[in-house]
Amino acid sequence: MNKILFIGLTQELKNDLQQAILKLWPDSVFDEVQIADEQLFAKVGDNTWLIVAAELTQNSIRNLRKSERTKLIPLMLIADLVDEGNEFVNIEFLPDALLRIPFANEQVEITLRTLRRLSSSARKVEDTEITENSFRTTDETDSGCRNILDSMMEGCQIIGLDWRYKYVNKAAEIQNRRPASDLIGNSFLDVWPDIEGSELYSKIKNALENRNNDMMDINFEFSDGKAGYFELKFQPVPEGVLITSFDITRQKIIEKGLYESDERWQFALEGADHGVWDWNLLTNKVLFSAQWKKQLGYQPDELENDLIEWETRVHPDDLVNAKFDINQHVSGITQFYESEFRMKHKNGMWVWILDRGKIFERDESGKPLRMVGTHTDITLKKQLETDLKESERIIRESQKVAGIGTYSLDFKTGIWKSSEVLDAIFGIEKDFEHSVEGWGAVIHPDWRETMVNYFSKEVATERKEFNKVYKIQRINDLEPRWVHGLGRLEYDLEGNLQQMIGTIQDITERKEAQDALIQNQRILKLFVEYAPAAIAMFDRNMCYMAVSNRFISDNQLEGVELIGKSHYEIIPNIPERWKEIHSECMKGVVRTKEEDEYIKADGTKEWLKWEVRPWFEVNNEVGGILLFTELITEHKKIIKALEESEERFRMIVESAPVGIAINDMEGNIVYINKFSTELFGYTPDDIPTVEAWMKLAYPDDNLRHEVFKYWKVALELAGKGENMPLLEYPVRCKNGEVKQIDFRPAISNNQIYIILTDLTDKYAAQEELRRIEWMLTKKESEPGTEKLNQQPAYGDLTLLNKDGLILKSVGKEVLTDIVNDYLSLLETSSAIYEKNGDYALGIFSSGWCQFMDEASRNLCATQDNSEALACGKWHCHESCWKQASLKAIETNAPVDIECSGGIRLYALPVLANNEIIGALNFGYGNPPTAIQKLSELSEKYNVPVEELEKRAAMYETRPPYIIGSAKERLQASANLIGEIVTRKISEQKIIELNESLEKTVAVKTMELKERIKELERFHEATIDREFRIKELRDEIDFLRKAK
Half-sphere exposure of 1041 (CA within 13 A, CB side): 6
Same domain flag for 529 and 495: no
**Domain end residue (candidates: 758, 791, 813):** 758
Q: Give the integer Cα–Cα distance in Å for 13 and 2.
A: 19
Which run of H or of E encompasses 78?
A: strand 75-79
**Domain limit, last residue, from 987, 1018, 1037:** 987
Q: Taking Cα atoms as reference points, which of 107, 70, 105 lies closest to residue 88?
A: 107
The CA-CA-CA angle for residues 215, 216, 218, to 5°, reads 150
Same domain, 723 and 837: no
Contact 369, 363 (CB under 8 A): yes
Q: Is 276 within 8 Å of 289 (Cβ atoms)?
A: yes
Single-letter amino acid code for the residue at 87: E
CA distance 130 to 137: 12
The verdict on residue 640 lying in a domain is no
What whole-number distance in Å separates Cα of residue 409 and Cα of residue 416? Answer: 4
Please give the span between the terminal C-alpha atoms of the chain, in angstroms, as a whole number. 139
Same domain, yes or no, for 954 and 819?
Answer: yes
Q: Answer for the pair 487, 466: CB distance below 8 angstroms, yes or no.
A: yes
Cα–chain center distance at 224: 42
Residues with Cβ within 8 Å of residue 275, at least 6 apart in sequence? 288, 289, 291, 292, 293, 294, 295, 374, 375, 376
Q: Which helix (H) or strand (E) holds 847?
A: helix 847-858
Handedness of CA 414, 417, 418, 423 (dihedral sign): positive
With respect to residue 998, please indicate whether it lies within any of the assigned structural domains.
no
Residue 622 and residue 587 in contact, taking contact as beta carbons nearer than 8 Å: yes
Which run of H or E residues covers position 67? Answer: none
Question: Does residue 690 sit within a domain?
Answer: yes
Same domain, 872 and 849: yes
What is the C-alpha to C-alpha distance for residues 259 and 276, in angstroms, rounded to an integer? 22
**Mean pLDDT per 10-residue run, the chain (1043 residues)?**
76 78 74 70 70 69 68 64 33 31 38 42 32 38 57 81 89 84 87 85 89 85 77 87 84 62 47 80 87 91 90 94 93 92 94 92 86 90 85 74 83 88 89 89 91 87 88 91 90 86 86 69 67 84 88 84 90 86 91 83 79 87 89 81 75 76 90 88 92 91 88 82 76 90 84 85 71 58 46 84 85 86 75 91 82 91 90 92 94 93 93 92 90 92 92 82 84 90 86 83 79 71 65 75 66
Do 482 and 455 share a structural domain?
yes
Residue 642 lies in a domain: no
CATH number at residue 170: 3.30.450.20
Q: What is the signed CA dihedral for 401, 403, 408, 413, rounded to 10 degrees?
A: 140
- Distance, in Å, from the CA atom of 231 to the CA atom of 217, rounded to the nearest integer, reads 5
**124 and 158: one domain?**
yes
Element (H, E) at 595: strand 591-599
Give the closest residue to 465 by CA, choosing from 440, 498, 448, 490: 490
Report d(CA 410, CA 408) in Å as an integer: 7
**DSSP letter for each residue of 10-43:** -HHHHHHHHHHHHHH-TT-EEEEESSSSHHHHHH
* DSSP 8-state symbol, 689: B
Neighbours of 668 (CB within 10 A): 13
The domain tally of the chain equals 6
282 and 248 in a common domain = no
pLDDT of residue 346: 94
Same domain, 794 and 863: yes
* 555 and 668 part of one domain: no
Phi, psi of 70 (to 5 degrees): -125, -10
Residue 645 lies in a domain: no
CA–CA separation, 661 and 680 (whole Å) = 12
Instruction: Give the residues across from 286 on adjacent strands.
Output: 279
572, 576, 582, 583: CA torsion to nearest 10 = 120
| Cα–Cα distance for residue pair 423/417, rounded to 1 Å | 10
Which 3 state secondary structure label does DSSP give 79? Answer: strand
Question: What gap in Å lies between CA 722 and CA 707, rounded to an integer?
Answer: 19
* Distance (Å, whole) CA 550 – CA 386: 55
Which backbone phi and psi does 225 adopt, to 5 degrees?
Answer: 90, -10
CA distances from 783 to 778, 780, 787, 844, 962 (A): 11, 8, 12, 21, 21
Last residue of a domain, one of 987, 1012, 1034: 987
- Please tell me the distance from the alpha carbon of residue 1040 to that of residue 1043, in angstroms, as a whole number: 5
3-state secondary structure of 813: helix
Question: Is residue 108 a part of any domain in this protein?
Answer: yes
Phi, psi dihedral angles at 139 (to 5 degrees) = -165, -170
Paired sense of beta strands 738-748 and 751-758, if any: antiparallel
Structure confidence at residue 321 (pLDDT): 94
Q: Is 202 helix (H, G, I), strand (E, B) or coil?
A: helix
* Inside any domain, residue 312: yes
Query: Sheet containing 591-599: which strands, arranged edge to edge?
Result: 544-547, 534-539, 622-631, 605-616, 591-599
Q: pLDDT value at position 859?
A: 93
40 and 140 together in one domain: yes
Distance CA 762, CA 749 (A): 33
Beta bridge partners of 32: 6
Q: In this structure, is residue 476 part of a structural domain?
A: yes
What CATH number has the domain bearing residue 964?
Answer: 3.30.450
| 860/928 same-domain check | yes
- The CA–CA distances, whole Å, from 999 to 875, 988, 992, 1011 equal 52, 16, 11, 18
One-letter amino acid at 835 equals K
Are 122 and 218 part of one and the same domain? Answer: yes
Buried b (16+ CB within 10 A) or exposed e, 624-656: bbbbbbebbeeeeeeeeeeeeeeeeeeeebeee
Range of the domain at 706: 656-758
Q: How far apart are CA 918 and CA 910, in angstroms?
A: 5
